[in-house]
Amino acid sequence: MKKKLLTIGLFVLIAISAQAQKINKYASARIFESQSKELSRMVLVYETGESEIIPLKNWKAFGNALSNNDILIENQKVITEHLNKMSEKGYEVKNMTSTGDPTYLFTFIVFTKKNKNSNQKELNASGQEK
């Protein structure tokens, strides 16, 4: 009887431990690109509540397509750099939505934190090892 109880107790502990490891942690990014002055930015919020604002360049309202393309490419490089940093910190994209019109682009990204494995280093919001 004691052996059965001990086996059941051990099984329950293992099941609880396995379930605890499956709890997802989320972060999000809100990306807003606009012609309006000072509005273009990327806002990252981590599961810890830490956040950071990454400035992006605004389009030129009366600029030509070539100059606006250059600005969009510069912004895309910044966004890609930060998406790669999120990956290095153990996050992967879970969901993404985007909308816009000729005056703005809006993108919202939800990240899930991957389970750490033994050789993955844990990084804080600024990319430094914890």
- Quote the DSSP letter at residue 127: S
Q: Which tokens hold the place of 87? A: 């990956």
**CATH number of the domain at 25-113, please?**
3.30.1410
Contact 27, 44 (CB under 8 A): yes
Report, as an integer, the average pLDDT of 111-120: 67
pLDDT tens track for 68-111: 888 889 999 999 999 999 999 999 999 999 999 888 889 999 99
pLDDT band at 119 (very low <50, low <70, confident <90, very high): very low
**Residue ranges covered by each domain of the chain:** 25-113
This prediction has a pTM of: 0.69
pLDDT in the model for residue 5: 55
Neighbours of 40 (CB within 10 A): 21
For residues 62 and 83, give the distance between their C-alpha atoms in angstroms, rounded to a whole number. 30
Q: Which of 64, 60, 46 is nearest to 124 (CA)?
A: 46
